[in-house]
Amino acid sequence: MTTTADPSRHGGVVVAIDGTSGSGKSSTSRGVASRLGLRYLDTGAMFRAVTWWMLQHGVDVHDAAAVAARSGAPELVSGTDPEAPTITLDGADVSAEIRSEAVNAAVSPVSTVPAVRARLLELQRAVIADALAGPGIVVEGRDIGSVVWPQAEVKLYVTADPSARAARRASEAGSTDVTATQASLEARDRIDSSRRTAPLVAADGAVHLDTTAFTLDEVIDQVVALVGRAGADRARAGQEQRA
Protein backbone atom coordinates (compact mmCIF):
# COMPACT_ATOMS: atom_id res chain seq x y z
CA MET A 1 0.00 0.00 0.00
CA THR A 2 1.31 3.45 -0.92
CA THR A 3 0.48 6.44 1.24
CA THR A 4 1.36 9.85 -0.12
CA ALA A 5 3.06 11.98 2.50
CA ASP A 6 0.94 14.81 3.82
CA PRO A 7 3.11 17.95 3.49
CA SER A 8 1.49 19.44 6.58
CA ARG A 9 2.78 16.47 8.59
CA HIS A 10 5.85 15.31 6.68
CA GLY A 11 6.83 18.28 4.52
CA GLY A 12 10.55 18.72 4.42
CA VAL A 13 11.24 15.61 6.45
CA VAL A 14 14.61 13.89 6.21
CA VAL A 15 14.71 10.27 7.29
CA ALA A 16 18.33 9.25 7.93
CA ILE A 17 18.88 5.49 7.88
CA ASP A 18 22.38 4.31 8.77
CA GLY A 19 23.56 0.82 9.48
CA THR A 20 25.62 -2.19 8.63
CA SER A 21 25.76 -3.99 5.28
CA GLY A 22 23.09 -6.63 4.83
CA SER A 23 20.93 -5.24 7.62
CA GLY A 24 18.11 -4.44 5.23
CA LYS A 25 18.56 -0.68 5.19
CA SER A 26 18.33 -0.37 1.39
CA SER A 27 15.07 -2.30 1.07
CA THR A 28 13.72 -0.52 4.13
CA SER A 29 14.71 2.92 2.85
CA ARG A 30 13.14 2.38 -0.56
CA GLY A 31 10.01 0.90 0.98
CA VAL A 32 9.55 3.80 3.39
CA ALA A 33 10.12 6.36 0.63
CA SER A 34 7.60 4.63 -1.64
CA ARG A 35 5.04 4.29 1.15
CA LEU A 36 5.25 7.98 2.10
CA GLY A 37 5.79 9.51 -1.32
CA LEU A 38 9.28 10.72 -0.46
CA ARG A 39 12.46 10.85 -2.53
CA TYR A 40 15.25 8.34 -1.91
CA LEU A 41 19.04 8.59 -1.92
CA ASP A 42 21.47 5.69 -1.67
CA THR A 43 24.75 7.30 -0.61
CA GLY A 44 26.51 3.94 -0.67
CA ALA A 45 25.85 3.75 -4.41
CA MET A 46 27.65 7.07 -4.79
CA PHE A 47 30.80 5.67 -3.15
CA ARG A 48 30.49 2.56 -5.29
CA ALA A 49 30.19 4.68 -8.42
CA VAL A 50 33.34 6.62 -7.61
CA THR A 51 35.09 3.32 -6.91
CA TRP A 52 33.98 1.95 -10.29
CA TRP A 53 35.29 5.09 -11.98
CA MET A 54 38.66 4.72 -10.26
CA LEU A 55 38.93 1.08 -11.35
CA GLN A 56 37.98 1.92 -14.92
CA HIS A 57 40.59 4.69 -15.07
CA GLY A 58 43.42 2.61 -13.67
CA VAL A 59 43.69 4.40 -10.34
CA ASP A 60 45.21 2.33 -7.54
CA VAL A 61 42.39 2.31 -4.98
CA HIS A 62 44.88 1.57 -2.20
CA ASP A 63 46.84 4.74 -2.99
CA ALA A 64 44.90 7.38 -1.06
CA ALA A 65 46.81 10.26 -2.64
CA ALA A 66 46.06 8.99 -6.16
CA VAL A 67 42.39 8.53 -5.35
CA ALA A 68 42.20 12.00 -3.79
CA ALA A 69 43.85 13.57 -6.83
CA ARG A 70 41.13 12.16 -9.14
CA SER A 71 38.18 12.48 -6.76
CA GLY A 72 36.80 15.56 -8.47
CA ALA A 73 36.85 14.09 -11.97
CA PRO A 74 33.78 11.80 -12.08
CA GLU A 75 30.51 13.47 -13.12
CA LEU A 76 28.05 11.79 -10.80
CA VAL A 77 24.25 12.08 -10.80
CA SER A 78 21.98 10.17 -8.42
CA GLY A 79 18.34 9.56 -9.34
CA THR A 80 15.97 9.80 -6.35
CA ASP A 81 12.92 7.81 -7.49
CA PRO A 82 12.54 5.01 -4.92
CA GLU A 83 10.77 2.83 -7.48
CA ALA A 84 13.64 3.07 -9.96
CA PRO A 85 16.78 4.63 -8.43
CA THR A 86 19.55 5.33 -10.89
CA ILE A 87 23.15 6.46 -10.76
CA THR A 88 25.12 7.75 -13.72
CA LEU A 89 28.81 8.39 -14.25
CA ASP A 90 29.79 10.76 -17.02
CA GLY A 91 26.31 10.32 -18.45
CA ALA A 92 26.27 6.49 -18.41
CA ASP A 93 24.04 4.41 -16.12
CA VAL A 94 26.29 2.22 -13.94
CA SER A 95 23.64 0.80 -11.61
CA ALA A 96 24.64 -2.78 -12.47
CA GLU A 97 28.40 -2.27 -12.66
CA ILE A 98 28.70 -0.82 -9.16
CA ARG A 99 27.41 -4.08 -7.65
CA SER A 100 30.26 -6.15 -9.08
CA GLU A 101 32.72 -8.15 -6.99
CA ALA A 102 35.51 -5.83 -8.11
CA VAL A 103 33.69 -2.86 -6.59
CA ASN A 104 32.79 -4.84 -3.46
CA ALA A 105 36.48 -5.47 -2.87
CA ALA A 106 37.57 -1.88 -3.54
CA VAL A 107 34.86 0.37 -2.12
CA SER A 108 36.08 0.43 1.49
CA PRO A 109 39.55 1.88 0.79
CA VAL A 110 38.07 4.44 -1.60
CA SER A 111 35.42 5.47 0.92
CA THR A 112 38.04 6.17 3.60
CA VAL A 113 39.72 8.89 1.50
CA PRO A 114 38.74 12.30 2.99
CA ALA A 115 38.71 14.03 -0.42
CA VAL A 116 36.18 11.51 -1.74
CA ARG A 117 33.98 11.89 1.31
CA ALA A 118 34.14 15.70 1.10
CA ARG A 119 33.17 15.68 -2.58
CA LEU A 120 30.26 13.30 -2.07
CA LEU A 121 29.14 15.07 1.11
CA GLU A 122 28.64 18.22 -0.93
CA LEU A 123 26.61 16.32 -3.54
CA GLN A 124 24.55 14.51 -0.91
CA ARG A 125 23.63 17.69 0.90
CA ALA A 126 22.63 19.30 -2.40
CA VAL A 127 20.27 16.42 -3.20
CA ILE A 128 18.74 16.60 0.27
CA ALA A 129 18.28 20.37 0.08
CA ASP A 130 16.56 20.01 -3.28
CA ALA A 131 14.22 17.33 -1.92
CA LEU A 132 13.20 19.60 0.96
CA ALA A 133 11.33 21.74 -1.57
CA GLY A 134 8.91 18.79 -1.72
CA PRO A 135 7.71 16.30 0.90
CA GLY A 136 11.25 15.21 1.79
CA ILE A 137 13.63 12.31 1.36
CA VAL A 138 14.84 9.04 2.86
CA VAL A 139 18.64 8.88 2.84
CA GLU A 140 20.56 5.71 3.56
CA GLY A 141 24.22 5.23 4.29
CA ARG A 142 26.70 4.96 7.13
CA ASP A 143 27.08 8.54 8.32
CA ILE A 144 23.81 10.26 7.38
CA GLY A 145 22.58 11.01 10.88
CA SER A 146 26.04 11.73 12.26
CA VAL A 147 27.64 13.79 9.46
CA VAL A 148 25.60 14.32 6.31
CA TRP A 149 22.36 15.58 7.89
CA PRO A 150 22.55 15.44 11.71
CA GLN A 151 19.46 17.68 11.94
CA ALA A 152 17.28 14.93 10.42
CA GLU A 153 13.97 14.63 12.26
CA VAL A 154 14.03 10.83 12.06
CA LYS A 155 17.30 8.94 12.53
CA LEU A 156 17.75 5.18 12.62
CA TYR A 157 20.65 2.82 13.09
CA VAL A 158 19.74 -0.48 11.46
CA THR A 159 21.49 -3.74 12.30
CA ALA A 160 20.86 -7.48 12.13
CA ASP A 161 22.48 -10.67 13.37
CA PRO A 162 25.73 -11.29 11.41
CA SER A 163 24.57 -14.66 10.14
CA ALA A 164 21.26 -13.22 8.97
CA ARG A 165 23.06 -10.36 7.22
CA ALA A 166 25.39 -12.79 5.46
CA ALA A 167 22.52 -15.02 4.33
CA ARG A 168 20.67 -12.03 2.90
CA ARG A 169 23.69 -10.65 1.08
CA ALA A 170 24.71 -14.07 -0.28
CA SER A 171 21.18 -14.60 -1.57
CA GLU A 172 21.22 -11.21 -3.30
CA ALA A 173 24.52 -12.10 -4.96
CA GLY A 174 23.42 -15.62 -5.90
CA SER A 175 26.16 -17.14 -3.76
CA THR A 176 26.04 -20.24 -1.58
CA ASP A 177 29.17 -19.36 0.41
CA VAL A 178 27.54 -17.66 3.39
CA THR A 179 30.66 -18.05 5.54
CA ALA A 180 32.82 -16.09 3.11
CA THR A 181 30.11 -13.47 2.73
CA GLN A 182 29.91 -13.01 6.50
CA ALA A 183 33.68 -12.62 6.74
CA SER A 184 33.59 -9.99 4.00
CA LEU A 185 30.79 -8.04 5.68
CA GLU A 186 32.52 -8.09 9.05
CA ALA A 187 35.79 -6.93 7.48
CA ARG A 188 34.04 -3.99 5.87
CA ASP A 189 32.32 -3.11 9.13
CA ARG A 190 35.71 -3.02 10.87
CA ILE A 191 37.13 -0.71 8.21
CA ASP A 192 34.13 1.62 8.19
CA SER A 193 33.87 1.74 11.99
CA SER A 194 37.54 2.53 12.50
CA ARG A 195 38.18 5.07 9.75
CA ARG A 196 39.11 8.55 10.93
CA THR A 197 36.73 10.42 8.65
CA ALA A 198 32.99 9.88 9.30
CA PRO A 199 33.16 6.43 10.87
CA LEU A 200 30.15 4.13 11.01
CA VAL A 201 28.42 4.99 14.31
CA ALA A 202 24.92 5.27 15.68
CA ALA A 203 24.11 8.99 15.48
CA ASP A 204 22.99 10.92 18.53
CA GLY A 205 19.25 10.45 18.89
CA ALA A 206 19.07 7.53 16.45
CA VAL A 207 16.61 4.72 17.06
CA HIS A 208 18.36 1.35 17.02
CA LEU A 209 16.38 -1.12 14.92
CA ASP A 210 17.47 -4.76 14.81
CA THR A 211 15.75 -6.26 11.76
CA THR A 212 16.69 -9.90 12.41
CA ALA A 213 13.31 -11.04 13.68
CA PHE A 214 11.11 -8.93 11.39
CA THR A 215 9.86 -9.16 7.84
CA LEU A 216 10.60 -6.28 5.49
CA ASP A 217 7.01 -5.03 5.70
CA GLU A 218 7.17 -5.08 9.50
CA VAL A 219 10.37 -3.03 9.48
CA ILE A 220 8.88 -0.53 7.03
CA ASP A 221 5.79 -0.24 9.24
CA GLN A 222 7.98 0.62 12.23
CA VAL A 223 9.87 3.34 10.37
CA VAL A 224 6.69 4.81 8.88
CA ALA A 225 5.28 5.01 12.40
CA LEU A 226 8.38 6.89 13.56
CA VAL A 227 7.97 9.38 10.71
CA GLY A 228 4.34 9.81 11.64
CA ARG A 229 5.22 10.56 15.25
CA ALA A 230 7.85 13.06 14.14
CA GLY A 231 5.26 14.80 11.97
CA ALA A 232 2.81 14.91 14.85
CA ASP A 233 5.48 16.35 17.13
CA ARG A 234 6.28 19.02 14.55
CA ALA A 235 2.62 19.95 14.19
CA ARG A 236 2.18 20.10 17.97
CA ALA A 237 5.26 22.32 18.33
CA GLY A 238 3.92 24.61 15.64
CA GLN A 239 0.59 24.92 17.42
CA GLU A 240 2.30 25.74 20.70
CA GLN A 241 4.38 28.46 19.03
CA ARG A 242 1.25 30.01 17.54
CA ALA A 243 -0.65 29.84 20.81
Looking up residue 178, the CATH number of its domain turns out to be 3.40.50.300
Domain-embedded: residue 162? yes
Residue 233: predicted pLDDT? 76
d(CA 13, CA 135) in angstroms, rounded, equals 7
With respect to residue 151, please indicate whether it lies within any of the assigned structural domains: yes
pLDDT for the residue 7: 38
* CA distance readout (Å), 213 to 141, 159, 219: 22, 11, 10
Q: What is the pTM of this model?
A: 0.83
| Cα 16 to Cα 152: distance, rounded to the nearest angstrom | 6
Query: What is the structure's pLDDT at 8?
Result: 38
Whether 98 maps to a domain, the answer reads: yes
Greatest distance between any 2 Cα atoms in the chain = 62
Q: Which secondary-structure segment (H or E) carries 209? A: strand 207-210
Looking at residue 180, what is its pLDDT? 75
3-class secondary structure, 132 = coil
- pLDDT given for residue 24 in this prediction: 87
Q: Which of 8, 73, 71, 4 is nearest to 39 (CA)?
A: 4
Parent domain of 44:
12-238
As a whole number of angstroms, the distance between CA 85 and CA 237 comes to: 34
Tally of structural domains, the chain: 1
Is residue 243 in a domain? Answer: no
Residue 79 within a domain: yes
Q: How far apart are CA 114 and CA 80, in angstroms?
A: 25
The predicted structure's pLDDT at residue 202 = 85
Residue type, 164: A
Q: What is the chain's length?
A: 243
Divide the 243 residues of the chain into consecutive groups of 10 and give the mean pLDDT of each group.
Answer: 44 89 89 97 97 98 98 97 96 95 92 96 97 96 95 94 74 72 71 66 90 93 95 72 63
Which residues fall within 8 angstroms of residue 194, CB to CB, at 6 or more apart?
A: none
CA distance 131 to 50: 23
Q: Does residue 197 sit within a domain? A: yes
CB atoms closer than 10 angstroms to residue 168: 20
Domain-located, residue 1: no
Which residues, at least 6 apart from 106, have a Cβ–Cβ distance to it below 8 Å?
Answer: 51, 54, 55, 61
140: three-class secondary structure by DSSP: strand
Say if 200 falls within a structural domain: yes
